[in-house]
Amino acid sequence: MEKSNEEQNSNQKTLVERRDFLGGAATLAGTSLLGLAVPASTAAATASDRAPDRMPPIPVDKMTDAQKKAAEEITSGPRKEVVGPFIPLLRSPEFMSRLQKAGAYLRYETKLGPGISEFIILITARQWTQQFEWDSHQDLAKKAGIAPEIVAAIGEGRRPTGMTPDQEMVHDFCTELRLTQCVSDPSYARVLKRFGEQGVIDITGLAGYYSMLGMIMNVARTPIPGATTLPLEYFPH
């Protein structure tokens, strides 16, 4: 028997509210607000449920000279080791070399501060259900001053309550950009007034950089080393 329209609408509303990054984005009802492309039959997943790593670490004795050079750039910098996205990226060493330099600026050298930077990274990791990135940054976010309940809300796909004004405007800016591929004049104006034009570009660039890393690791199926459970739920598409 088919569900009534009332039942279908109720179920849809519940799903949308759970994943509402904008807090009242009713105009997007009927779409996946997170834009997640990985369906799942259960909410929680274990690491053993994941398909095998498509691009595991390359042994040093199997690396080309270009790969060794690119790897050395990583290990001699603030990251210290070739992990996470840089393992699959090593398959294209020139790309990795250029990309990681942009990433080093975006993560360590902007004037946004670690609190806002880590906040953006968490939002982006959740949007892409990027397990490695979330696992790597949730504790860093808390150390940067982001309240645990805000971290938990982002991880659950909810718009956090109790955000600071800076967090609120950055959250809405990044979420709106992800969901609509643009930002409204009010969202733009708030971020512009607070962070200036350079801040607008750096915020956008940081979200874009970690989106790219998320895409790469999701394609490569990069695992969390030693993990038995995955920190993020897979939401229905």
Domain covering 113-237: architecture: Up-down Bundle (1.20)
The packing angle between helices 114-127 and 148-155, to 10°, is 20
Amino acid identity of 214?
Answer: G
Domain ranges of the chain: 60-109, 113-237
| Radius of gyration of the chain from its Cα atoms, rounded to whole angstroms | 19
- Answering whether pTM is above 0.85, one says no
Query: Per-residue pLDDT for the chain (237 aa), expressed as one digit of tens each?
Result: 444 555 544 444 434 344 443 343 333 333 333 433 334 334 445 555 567 899 999 999 999 999 999 999 988 877 788 888 999 999 999 999 999 999 999 989 999 999 999 999 999 999 999 999 999 999 999 999 999 999 999 999 999 999 999 999 999 999 999 999 999 999 999 999 999 999 999 999 999 999 999 999 999 999 998 878 899 988 765
Residue where the block lists tokens 């790897």: 71
Task: Report the C-alpha gap between 181 and 188 in whole angstroms.
Answer: 13
Per-residue tokens: 151: 């971290």
